[in-house]
Structure 1
């Protein structure tokens, strides 16, 4: 028996080690992907979307709090890939680890559901998971730059704002997509696939036009988001918003399309306003639609149960689950009372 227990404990340790390494690898890969596109604000360079924050928060919901060493290890690997390891880097690692941890704890405290099936879940992810929790990573990260002399005090607020919005966009755009992927159980039917392919084809033509045209056509993305949310709920709207955000980020960092001729600060504000409004639209609209569908299904079930009860009563039978009482059933032949 002792041998069996030790084997199980060893297996748990091995599984836990693989989970931590997997989280670290995904965090590092997301970080390298995010660093492909950068913008300069003041004396610092930042990424408009920082995917590792979304990866970290999704990993916490999938594996639990025990995977936090993987987040810290991934953040350390990203920093080491950019610069030599210094004591100040530990502050960035701490901030990048603490921010998703606080987001996870706050969301769990509010009863957050990873399926984002309620409006309150979308609101909580936006305001607690993204906007509030990411204040930690941005404040710690930019504060470390100022304290170490790598950034002047007068450049604190522009860089802090860019850092905060980039981390928040990572949560708003990446976390829902990963939670959706982790919770997928079955593929949609053939009819849904046909409409999904049509939507993908339309998005493949409209989104590049909207994000790279010299005429400001970014508003063309919103009808696609509404279509995706109405027909495919969270899956469609989140993927559509992520696709549009990636192409808009490419256009912004290249200085083309609607971002041509703007200063770096103007590009940052315009891009993040577009990304933020898309993320809010996709999350909140799909949450409202899912909530309405769930309410309708509940009403339909209640009506069906009521119809069944009425049918039994009309037939003179006791409804299912209720024992017959005096007076139930058809009258018997006359006899003694």
Structure 2
């Protein structure tokens, strides 16, 4: 019986690792559709979903699934070219980046619910920007020293860091949201949600394809999504806008075609960073305030029950007395308005 249970546990762990590997490879394939730099068997994209998938997997499934990241990265590298010493270092960097993000997030007590402002700040600055320095710096340096880098070091480093960091800031919150969804979905604001989806589609299209600088138009919609629907609204919208922006900046005929590669990477990093930061911080702040309000209401209800137990009926009398006072104040206010002819 013990052996069967252990075999079952190992089989489940293996399936999780293979699942992470498959998801990582799928994210890498998607990211390579808009790669901006190719160095031998290494492709660099301004949005690398695989890092977001890796960090989300480590947060939800535990550090034990890290071999899945390595397997997924290995499959991606062997698809693009041959595995050699340089690619082994790149493989290690792709694994170490998400693991470092996990360790940094655990250090500050990160919670996957993203219902506190400190969690949003930690994911942005520790999980995304700081953790991904490891993979971007290591990978760019080894490609530079091997002579396989077709562009300048800082251009390659910025593109690599941008892609990895944006993968964490945009894909990880979306996956953390999906992990909490339970069927059947219970939702009562379908009309507003439908209006938000239509508005988001129109504004995103308008903001990203026009030759004018109209990217700022997405922020009012993002604020609407965060205030009314919290992470369920802001995370998908931020990911959608980022995908459209990346598509436009990497297109040879897009609105950014007249910029150099370095200028495009700086622009997309600044925009996507602002987008992710606004989405996460605003959503976390609203959710935190809502939770505080609910706790205050629960404390008031508990206090009311205690008062009613100590002095039966007194709490009811007090509420009725307060209601009568409010009614009297409203009547006096109406009389004053009538006297003034308002």
Q: Same fold (TM over 0.5)?
A: yes
Following TM superposition, where does structure 1 have runs of at least 4 consecutive aligned residues deviating by more than 4 angstroms? 40-45
2:53 corresponds, among 47, 55, 63, to 55
SS, match of residue 49 in structure 1: coil
2:85 corresponds, among 84, 87, 110, to 87
How far does the alpha carbon of each residue in 1:48-83 deviate from its partner, in whole angstroms, 9 at most, with x for none?
Answer: 111110000111112111101111010111111111
Bigger drift between 108-117 and 185-194 goes to 185-194
**CA RMSD after TM alignment:** 2.1
| 1:301 and 2:302 matched | no
Please report how far the alpha carbon of residue 42 of structure 1 lies from its aligned counterpart in structure 2 after TM superposition: 11
How far does the alpha carbon of each residue in 1:230-272 deviate from its partner, in whole angstroms, 9 at most, with x for none?
Answer: 0111111111000000011111111455424222222221122
Pick closer, same or farther for the CA change 1:283–1:256 going to 2, 3 Å: farther
Please report how far the alpha carbon of residue 208 of structure 1 lies from its aligned counterpart in structure 2 after TM superposition: 0.7
Hey, what's the Cα distance between the residues in 2 that align with 1:263 and 1:132?
26
- Partner residue, 2:28: 31
Contact 1:20-1:69 at 8 Å conserved across structures? yes
Alignment of 1:179-198 (within 5 A): 179-185=176-182, 188-198=185-195
Alignment of 1:144-183 (within 5 A): 144-151=142-149, 155-183=152-180
SS, match of residue 92 in structure 1: helix
SS, match of residue 258 in structure 2: coil
Pick closer, same or farther for the CA change 1:41–1:68 going to 2, 3 Å: closer
Q: Which runs of 5+ in 2 are unaligned?
A: 315-342
Alignment of 1:108-257 (within 5 A): 108-151=106-149, 155-185=152-182, 188-256=185-253
| 1:278 and 2:278 matched | no
Contact 2:23-2:53 at 8 Å conserved across structures? yes
Q: Across the two proteins, how many residue pairs are aligned to each other?
A: 314
- Partner residue, 2:318: none
Contact 1:173-1:279 at 8 Å conserved across structures? yes
Contact 1:41-1:264 at 8 Å conserved across structures? no
